[in-house]
Amino acid sequence: MKTGIEGLIRENILALEPYTCARQEFSGTDATLLDANESPYDTGFNRYPDPFQRELKRAVARVKGLDESRLVLGNGSDELIDMLVRVTCEPGRDNMIVFSPSYAMYGVCGRVNGVETRVLDLDEGFEPRWDALLDNADEHTRLIFLCSPNNPTGNRWSLERTRELAGRFNGWLVVDEAYMDFAEEGASAVSLLADCPRVVVLQTLSKAWGMAGLRVGICIADPALVAYLNRVKPPYNIGSLTQRAAIEALADEDTFHARVRQIVGERERLFRAFSRMAIFSAVYPSEANFILVQCAHHESLRGYLAANGIIIRGRHIPPLLAGGLRVSVGTPGENDRLLTLLEQWKRP
Ligand SMILES: Cc1ncc(COP(=O)(O)O)c(C=O)c1O
């Protein structure tokens, strides 16, 4: 039986001879490239992108204050969630733990990969039941997916309880921080990585960085796990145009901070306005860029807004979230329009 990190990696990945590209052996800039069956004619895109995403990783590492050896970049964090399942779980034998309500893709990736997915309900405060959590785990539990701030509830999960769980759980504890840029500073589980090699943090350029259309997800993990993830990563998973645009965006941190401030300010304005509206039976504080509300006539409200050109997300997840609706924070003008429509709505 394998111990340490190797004991938590799927056997076929441990044995895998990864795909290699001839260009890995060359680091200069002035070569005649006859290795990859590309077109020799310069279209701007006739060459495959850098499979190691070196320049983009440098930019991410600089902005996040991290070492590049801890990074794996994915075609969105959705690709990284799938890679984590594939690298760590043996289908038909291992299992993983996810929560409800939370981001649904963890469970989808588990099921697609034939990995038993154990779904635990959050408590009334929308946090995992930390003390009882590991009662649902066994020696084949390879992954637990935490989401902080959680989608769709918007609350952050305790970093202290996360640290404590990491000390007790002999598997990979994945903390998805897609929305962490909108939360309080210093709340990230990245601070746990130095002491807890089995903690894995996911972040993304899709939310606060405003680049959902580019598809860049960031996995921050122990370099040993990074090496295994890189074995299964398709070499060209991030296109050249995406790499270039992301590097450019990451160079403008002032715009990033200004937009985050604006969204957080608008989130608080929406929260105050929603809280005064009798149509909602609950309005939840959020540390993300969306707000969760509950409304008895949720279907009717969603239909009314859609008929008026505003799409919000239905999150009716009983028993905890009956009539749940998730509203993303828009521009001040979009939010004004939403508030006006809500005030004019005639309940059925
Ligand atoms: C919690 C959470 N994680 C990950 C993602 C996916 O992010 P990406 O665009 O990086 O694939 C989302 C998207 O909504 C999300 O809510």
**CATH (domain of 293):** 3.90.1150.10
Tell me, yes or no, whether 105 and 67 share the same domain: yes
Q: Please provide residue 259's backbone torsions phi and psi, each rounded to the nearest 5 degrees.
A: -70, -40
Q: Do the Cβ atoms of 106 and 119 come closer than 8 Å? A: no
Indicate if ligand 1 lies below 6 Å from the C-beta of 77.
yes
What per-residue confidence (pLDDT) applies to 347? 81
| Residue where a domain stops, chosen among 189, 220, 250 | 250
Looking from the CA of residue 205, the nearest atom of ligand 1 is: 10
Structure token digits, residue 269 = 């304005």
Tell me, yes or no, whether 151 and 274 share the same domain: no
Ligand 1 center to residue 78 CA distance, Å? 6
Looking from the CA of residue 212, the nearest atom of ligand 1 is: 9
Residue with structure tokens 């210093």? 186
What per-residue confidence (pLDDT) applies to 28? 72
Tell me, yes or no, whether 126 and 224 share the same domain: yes
Structure token digits, residue 263 = 């969204």
Residue from 178, 206, 267 nearest 188 by CA? 178
Peptide bond into 51 cis (omega under 30): no
* Total number of domains constituting the chain: 2
Tell me, yes or no, whether 242 and 261 share the same domain: no
Q: Do the Cβ atoms of 292 and 154 come closer than 8 Å? A: yes
Tell me, yes or no, whether 260 and 241 share the same domain: no
Indicate if ligand 1 lies below 6 Å from the C-beta of 217.
yes
What per-residue confidence (pLDDT) applies to 81? 98
Pairing mode of beta strands 282-283, 199-204: unpaired
| Residue where a domain stops, chosen among 250, 280, 304 | 250
Tell me, yes or no, whether 186 and 230 share the same domain: yes
Tell me, yes or no, whether 72 and 111 share the same domain: yes
| Residue where a domain stops, chosen among 198, 215, 250 | 250
One-character DSSP codes across 282-328: EE---SSSEEEEE-TTHHHHHHHHHHTT---EE--BTTTBTTEEEEE
What per-residue confidence (pLDDT) applies to 3? 64
Indicate if ligand 1 lies below 6 Å from the C-beta of 177.
no
What per-residue confidence (pLDDT) applies to 2? 66
Q: Look up residue 126 and give its amino acid.
A: F
Tell me, yes or no, whether 75 and 140 share the same domain: yes
Tell me, yes or no, whether 164 and 142 share the same domain: yes
Tell me, yes or no, whether 246 and 258 share the same domain: no
Q: List own/partner pairs for 257-265 with CB under 8 A and 24 or more apart.
A: 259/208, 259/210, 260/181, 260/182, 260/208, 262/332, 263/182, 263/208, 263/289, 263/329, 264/182
Q: How many CB atoms lie within 10 A of CB 341?
A: 16
Ligand 1 center to residue 150 CA distance, Å? 11
What per-residue confidence (pLDDT) applies to 187? 86
3-class DSSP assignment, residue 202? strand
What per-residue confidence (pLDDT) applies to 23? 74
Q: H-type helices in 169-283, by residue range?
A: 223-232, 240-250, 253-275
> Which stretches of the chain score pLDDT less than 70?
1-3, 25-26
Indicate if ligand 1 lies below 6 Å from the C-beta of 204.
yes
Per DSSP, which regions of the chain are E strands?
Answer: 71-74, 95-100, 116-121, 141-147, 172-176, 199-204, 217-220, 282-283, 290-294, 313-314, 324-328
Contacts of 224 (CB under 8 A, 6+ apart): 5, 197
Q: Do the Cβ atoms of 170 and 45 come closer than 8 Å? A: no
CATH of the domain at 105: 3.40.640.10
Indicate if ligand 1 lies below 6 Å from the C-beta of 222.
no
Tell me, yes or no, whether 225 and 270 share the same domain: no
Structural domain span for residue 289: 254-344
Q: How many CB atoms lie within 10 A of CB 156?
A: 21
Tell me, yes or no, whether 229 and 276 share the same domain: no
